[in-house]
Amino acid sequence: GAVVSQHPSWVICKSGTSVKIECRSLDFQATTMFWYRQFPKQSLMLMATSNEGSKATYEQGVEKDKFLINHASLTLSTLTVTSAHPEDSSFYICSAAGVNAYNEQFFGPGTRLTVL
Amino acid sequence: TQLLEQSPQFLSIQEGENLTVYCNSSSVFSSLQWYRQEPGEGPVLLVTVVTGGEVKKLKRLTFQFGDARKDSSLHITAAQPGDTGLYLCAGGYNFNKFYFGSGTKLNVKP
């Protein structure tokens, strides 16, 4: 149980284009989903917290107009990187919580974004 | 500035040795989680601790939550090459927001 999927697993795009990443909880309803960014050999940096049906809460320094998050249902959240630039290249990982009272989060496999 | 500091950052040991990874913060957390991550994959949850002083064992792994709920440790007994990976702690606020530690990269040589 507690399986989270991400799609796509990797994407290469041209500078200036937008990229959408999907995060799905496959066997449970996620009351909260989180989006993280991870640079090579570094830890995960929390970008935003998303609750179903409400606006995402962004961490300080994360541009909400650049990283659009939509959490339309209890099993799906999307992250859209708008007008991507090479510095947006990174490993983006989502997690979903809501399995138990501790709100343990279960992670997707990540999406490798490369902006040329 | 990292909210949670892990030490050591890197650890390379021989198979069979014991090791301890530390996760320290000045903040009090409602819960603390430990994860293991392989390159190119998402982190996998190992354990969640919620009570100050709590100790949990998972086969050769022993997790402890500090009495003040500000720090935690992960002890691995008789490490094996399969334990190689990036170990991450994550502190939770009100069970609704989590911040990750700086990570400890473990390499266990056969």
Model confidence pLDDT, tens digit, residues B66-103? 999 999 999 999 999 999 999 999 998 776 678 899 89
A108 contacts in B (CB within 8 Å)? Answer: 42
Tokens of A19: 């990229």
From A32, A43, A102, residue closest to B102, measured CB to CB: A43
B98 contacts in A (CB within 8 Å)? Answer: 34, 46, 105
| Contact check, Cβ <8 Å, B48/A109 | no
Model confidence pLDDT, tens digit, residues A72-102? 888 999 999 999 999 999 999 999 987 666 6
- Please list, residue by residue across B36-64, b when 16 or more beta carbons sit within 10 angstroms of its beta carbon and e when fewer do: bbeeebbbebbbbbbeeebeeeeeebbbb
Stretch A55-77: mean pLDDT, rounded? Answer: 91
